[in-house]
Copies of this chain bind each other. A is one copy, B any other.
Amino acid sequence: MPLNPQILLDNRPTGEAVASNFRLVSSETPALQDGQVLVRHHFLSLDPYMRGRMNDAKSYAAPQPLGEVMQGGTAGEVVESRSPKFQPGDKVVGMGGWQQYSVVNADQPGALRKVDTTHVPLSHYLGAVGMPGVTAWYGLVKIIAPKSGQTVVVSAATGAVGSAFGALAKARGCRAVGIAGGPDKCKYAVDELGFDACIDYKLHKDAASLSKALKEACPDGIDGYFENVGGMVLDAVLPRMNAFGRIALCGMIAGYDGQPLPLSYPALILTNRLKVQGFIVSEHMEVWPEALKELGTLVATGKLRPRESVAQGLESAPEAFLGLLKGRNFGKQLVKLI
C-alpha cells in the first residue's frame, strides 16, 4: 500500500491559529477490507468552519480531535476497490481529510459520492457544486426566501459560498449586493459573478461608514442578508434591513479566534421585525439533491464561474488555511495534492 502523508492537529490555538498547531506525518495506508475502497485525493477543501472545530468549545460539531488527521472535504479518484459500488477510476467526493489517501467504507451512507466531471470540473464539487454551494442555496432559498425584485446582500461575496449565493440570487430576479475585501475582489464580484454592486469593507473604518455605503448600494433597503462574517459588517447591515427582512446566519469568521463579537443594536431585530436564523447545512441533507442540481446546471451553463485559489501540495495546507482565515484567498480555497 502507498505511503500516506497526513496533517494532524497537534495542539489547539490560543487566540489566533498558527502553523505550529499542525504537524505533518506519514503513515502506511492499511490493506483494504471487504466493502472498502482506497481513494487518492486530488483536491482538499479548506473551509472557515474548520477554525471553529480547532477550539475545544461547545459547538454544533464535536471538536477536531488532537493528534488525528484534520477532517475536511476531499475530491479524488478511486484507485482500488473491494466494493461493488465503486470501480477504480471513479471520481468521488467525500470527507477524506488532510491526507493524500483515505480508506472509505463504501457502505456507510454519504461517505463517498460518485460525481460526473463531464461538464463540471472535479474541484468544483468541493465548492459551488458542493457543501459551500448548498450552504448558499439553503440560506437563500429556505431562510431568506426572496421574491423577485428584492435586495439581498452577502458578506465574503467572492468566497465559495458568496459567489454561489450571487448566482442563485440573480437566477431569482433579485438585486444582489456583495461585501468583500479589496478592489480586486469587488471588481470580480461585479464583472464575473454578476453582482449588481459590491462594497469594499476595507474602505470603511466603522459600521456607520459601511452602513452608509450599503444605503447607496441598496436604495430600496435590504430584504435578505447572508452572514459569513459577523462583527462590524453585521452591525452595518442591521439598520438597513427592511421590515420583515430575513438574516441567514451561516458564519461569523470574525469571531473564530475567540475575541468578543457583540451585536451593537439587537433592538433593530425587533423594530424591523426581522427573522435571524442560524443554520448548518449538514443538518439539512434533504435539500442537497435539489440544490446540487441547480448549482451543477449553473456551473455547466457558465452562469456561475467560481474562482479558485489553489495551493500546491499537502504541506502547503496549513499556510493556505491560515490565509483563508485572513481573507487572503480569492474564491474557493483548495489544496491540489497531485
Contact = CB atoms under 8 A, between A and B. Distances in A.
A25 interface: no
Given A230-B267, A234-B266, A267-B230, A277 B275 contact: yes
Contacts of A230: 266-267
Contacts of A249: 266, 269-270
A262 B261 CA distance: 10
A276 interface: yes
A188 interface: no
Total copies of this chain within the assembly? 2
Given A262-B265, A262-B266, A271 B59 contact: yes
A152 to B, nearest CB: 18
B283 A278 contact: no
Interface string A77-112: 000000000000000000000000000000000000
A279 B59 CA distance: 28
Contacts of A58: 271
Contacts of A261: 265-267
Contact of A262 (B243, B250, B263, B277): B263
Contacts of A297: none
Contacts of A173: none
B276 A277 contact: yes
A252 interface: yes
Nearest to A261: B267
Given A271-B59, A272-B278, A273-B283, A260 B265 contact: yes
Contacts of A243: 60
Given A263-B263, A264-B260, A275 B273 contact: no
Contacts of A24: none
Contacts of A145: none
A243 B250 CA distance: 15
B273 A60 contact: yes
A255 interface: yes
A58 B243 CA distance: 12
A50 interface: no
A220 to B, nearest CB: 16
Interface in A44-75: 52, 58-60
A329 to B, nearest CB: 21
A203 interface: no
Given A263-B263, A276-B276, 16 more contacts: A60-B243, A60-B272, A230-B266, A251-B270, A252-B267, A252-B270, A261-B266, A262-B264, A263-B266, A269-B278, A271-B278, A273-B278, A273-B280, A273-B283, A274-B278, A275-B275
19 contacts: A60-B273, A230-B266, A230-B267, A234-B266, A251-B270, A252-B266, A252-B267, A252-B270, A260-B264, A261-B266, A262-B264, A262-B265, A263-B266, A266-B266, A269-B277, A273-B278, A273-B280, A275-B276, A275-B277
